[in-house]
Amino acid sequence: MLALLLRDLRLATRAGGGFGLSLAFFLIVTVLVPFGVGPEGGILARIAPGILWVGALLSCLLSLDRIFALDREDGSLDLLATAPIPLEGVVAAKALAHWLTTGLPLTLGAPVLGVLLHLPGSGFAWLTLSLLLGTPALSVIGTFGAALTVGLKRGGLLLSLLVLPLYIPTLIFGAEAARRGSEGLATATPLLMLAGITAGAVAMLPFASAAAIRVNLR
């Protein structure tokens, strides 16, 4: 498991499929928003939590098709499916690798980019916490979508269409928690809902992803 995790981390770093590409896209989205809505600080501060969450969500989509596609092309996925390691564990390791190379850097970089959107000082901690709770769900759900489309050629668009509706609850509660935190309101309810979504996804989706991979390998 550890060897598989380290291998995926090395591949993501060398190929630029996670860390650099996602952060660059996140930066571009954040920089372009003030040009589109205007430089007025009040407007930017009001929409900053939602914009940062949408940017993080879209950035996670960029590298989803690489989670299993490369292993499928070189035959590694067939070997992993017949290895002594349970396929559910393989899926969990790949989801963790995706989060470490995509979700975690986005979480750490979001407060810095929040400065560009005039995010209130009280909202930085809540934004970071909401992303820390929500981005694991994005990676696990994305891994499930990648497992469903692993046998398809050029399945990137279909993967996005499958995953985006599943991302909506995470986006709603994550952006709401960040918005309430920036306005000084109570954040317990959206944070608990966000944590519940992540816990449910981590508990159930590796099994669903493993089943989808087995079907696609037949």
> Tens digits of per-residue pLDDT, 81-116?
777 888 899 899 999 999 998 999 999 999 999 998
Which pLDDT score, from 0 to 100, does residue 127 have?
95
- Give per-residue pLDDT as tens, 138-193: 999 999 999 988 877 766 778 888 999 999 999 999 999 999 999 989 999 999 99
Label each residue of the chain as H, E or C: CHHHHHHHHHHHHHHCCCHHHHHHHHHHHHHHHHHHHCCCHHHHHHHHHHHHHHHHHHHHHCCCCHHHHHHHHHCHHHHHHCCCCCHHHHHHHHHHHHHHHHHHHHHHHHHHHHHHHCCCCCHHHHHHHHHHHHHHHHHHHHHHHHHHCCCCCCCHHHHHHHHHHHHHHHHHHHHHHHHHHHHCCCCHHHHHHHHHHHHHHHHHHHHHHHHHHHHHHC
For the chain, the domains span: 2-217
